[in-house]
Amino acid sequence: MYDVVIIGAGVVGSCIARELSRYELSICLLDKEWDVASGTSKGNSAIVHAGYDAKPGTLQARLNVKGNELMEQWCTELDVPFKRVGSLLLAFNDDDMGELYKLMEQGRTNGVPELRIIYKDELHTMEHHISGDAIAALYAPTAGVVCPYELTIAAAENAVINGADIRLGQTVQSIMRDSDSFEVVTTEHTIRARYVIDAAGVYADDIASMIGDNSFKITPRKGEYCILDKAKGYLAKHVIFQPPTAMGKGVLVTPTVDGNILVGPNAHDVNDKEDMATTAEGLQEIMDTARKSVPAVSERDVITSFAGLRAVSGDDFVIKPSDVDSRFIIVGGICSPGLTSAPAIALMVTEFLHQAGLIIDAKADYNPIRKGIPRFREMNEDERRRLIAMDPAFGRVICRCETVTEGEIIEAVNRPIPAVTLDAIKRRARAGMGRCQSGFCTPRVMEIISKQKGIPVDGITKKGGRSIVLTGVVQKGDAYDDRT
């Protein structure tokens, strides 16, 4: 029996797991996918918002500003790259100017510090490649960029280091409850827990309805993105927004923590909660719209594209103990600014659990520090020498585009949450994230996983389940004998 089971190992579920792992609690973090950060947490804008967008008084407004404040400490403790690059909301005409002033006021009401409007000269000094049509911008220095899957992985790893269990690749099928506990039935196990946290992203409403709570509905809102080559990293220094629309914050152009440029998203409501397919029209739409902000954004520089689903439920987050059972905490409708808010949501949920009767005693040996995988590519010569002296595998480059070494991949395979799929390696060590999109390193990464874990090469998947990469051996000749 667990004290708490968390359904959904996205950024919200993982941050909650990490926060709860401070206390003397037994925790289980569950996900239907084969890695953490496999849903919305891997397909979003990767922005730490300043907090001026949300209506004052909403959960979004409060948690955004609080989450933005917490982000620095969380990322420092968890060794996650976070860059407070600041954001610029562009205005192209008088109507936009009105919007800028409105949002600046709203931001000040929400408690966002240092907001100011900058005009053409200063704006174009700050960003050399934005459109000449931009006349002014709302500058929010506290906005930043973070890697959303790295934050998720780091938080989940830190939870595991501090004693949480993690169970991946199992879908929750039903939830029973009685007076002292819940029984969460998955495709693999039945898990008993005294408290349940529903952090299931686009499925949060389906999970809640398993205990008869139909108080909210999630609409998946698809957003498509393109990633540009690092060679174009100079195109934007800040997060560059356009005036928001009814469907969201609009198409942005932003640097990523890794030095690429991210373009997107559009916003289209979809019916299918698994529909993460990009569309030709959608990709065209975001590139065309992005060029309004940064005209030099070009299809020629796209190295990959992806789509993510925002979990939208009305105009605000739905974070509350269920009316059906207060030991069941709903964390639903976590669309933007969900990533920014995640650390603050974790604190809020902990408080709800406390109020619902969960006794939370601080754990004496809680370790808030999680050390990430060394990043050879970001090191100076001395650091590189020291790393290789420690382990020569850090001297062997496997992914040439991103300069990822064998040592980093071996470490990713052997982390507290082991990475045994190509996508899991990619999100931890960046092998395959570069301009060749894993063309050269795939065979070598598979060889390392196989060797480290004793899995046959043709048993390795892209992302778990039936996503097998190779369909078998060619023929049982010499090569086969060598391998076995």
Partner 1 sequence: MIEHDVVVIGGGPAGLAAAVAARQAGAEDVCIIERDKRLGGILQQCIHNGFGLHIFEEELTGPEYAQRFIDMARQWGVHSMLDTMVLDITPDRMITVVNNRDGLQTIKAGAVVLAMGCRERSRGALNIPGTRPAGIFTAGTAQRFVNMEGFMPGNQIVVLGSGDIGLIMARRLTLEGADVKMVCEIMPYSSGLKRNIVQCLDDFGIPLRMNHTVTEIHGKERIEGVIIAAVDQNRKPIAGSEEYVPCDTLLLSVGLIPENELSRSAGIQLNPITGGPVVDESMQTSIPGIFACGNVVHVNDLVDNVSTESAIAGKAAAMYDLGMFDESKAGIKVKAGPGVRYIVPNAINLTRVDDAVTLYFRVDNVYEGAVLRVSTDKSILFNIKKKIMVPGEMQHIKLKKSFLGKQGDISDIVVEVAGEAN
Q: From residue 301, how far is each of 183, 229, 232, 281, 467 by CA, in Å?
A: 50, 6, 7, 18, 28
Report if residue 303 touches partner 1, rule: CB under 8 A. Answer: yes
Report if residue 457 touches partner 1, rule: CB under 8 A. Answer: yes
| Residues binding partner 1: number (CB under 8 A) | 61
Task: State the nearest-atom distance from the C-beta of 434 to partner 1, in Å.
Answer: 9
Report if residue 473 touches partner 1, rule: CB under 8 A. Answer: yes
Structure-token pair, residue 42? 């891997």
Structure-token pair, residue 126? 């700050």
Task: State the nearest-atom distance from the C-beta of 457 to partner 1, in Å.
Answer: 6
CA dist 204 and 193 (Å) reads 18
Report if residue 276 touches partner 1, rule: CB under 8 A. Answer: yes
Task: State the nearest-atom distance from the C-beta of 181 to partner 1, in Å.
Answer: 34
Report if residue 306 touches partner 1, rule: CB under 8 A. Answer: yes
What single string gives the DSSP state of each residue in 112-164?
-TT-EEEEHHHHHHH-TTS-TT--EEEEETT-EEE-HHHHHHHHHHHHHHTT-
Under 8 Å CB-to-CB from 201, ≥6 apart: which residues? 8, 10, 12, 39, 40, 41, 309, 311, 334
Report if residue 119 touches partner 1, rule: CB under 8 A. Answer: no
Report if residue 298 touches partner 1, rule: CB under 8 A. Answer: no
CB of 226 or CB of 346, closer to partner 1: 226
The amino acid at residue 38 is S
Q: What is the dihedral of CA 230, 232, 233, 235, to 10 degrees?
A: -170
Contact 44, 336 (CB under 8 A): yes
Q: Which of 200, 198, 199 is nearest to 177 (CA)?
A: 198
Among 177, 237, 268, 435, binds partner 1 (CB under 8 A): 435
Report if residue 226 touches partner 1, rule: CB under 8 A. Answer: yes
The amino acid at residue 307 is A
Stretch that binds partner 1, among 62-70, 164-172, 354-362, 460-468 (CB under 8 A): 460-468
Report if residue 467 touches partner 1, rule: CB under 8 A. Answer: yes
Query: Which positions are catalytic?
Result: 49
The amino acid at residue 59 is L
CB of 314 or CB of 439, closer to partner 1: 439
Task: State the nearest-atom distance from the C-beta of 153 to partner 1, in Å.
Answer: 19
Number of C-beta neighbours around residue 355 at 10 A: 11
Q: What residues numbered 231-260 form the site for partner 1, per CB under 8 A?
A: 231
390 to 419: interface string for partner 1, x by CB under 8 A:
--xxxxxx--xx-x--x-------------
Q: What residues numbered 8-37 form the site for partner 1, per CB under 8 A?
A: none
Q: Catalog residues that contact partner 1 under the rule CB under 8 A.
A: 226-227, 231, 274, 276-280, 282-283, 299, 302-306, 381, 384-385, 388-389, 392-397, 400-401, 403, 406, 422, 435-440, 442-443, 457-458, 461-463, 465-475, 477, 479-480, 483
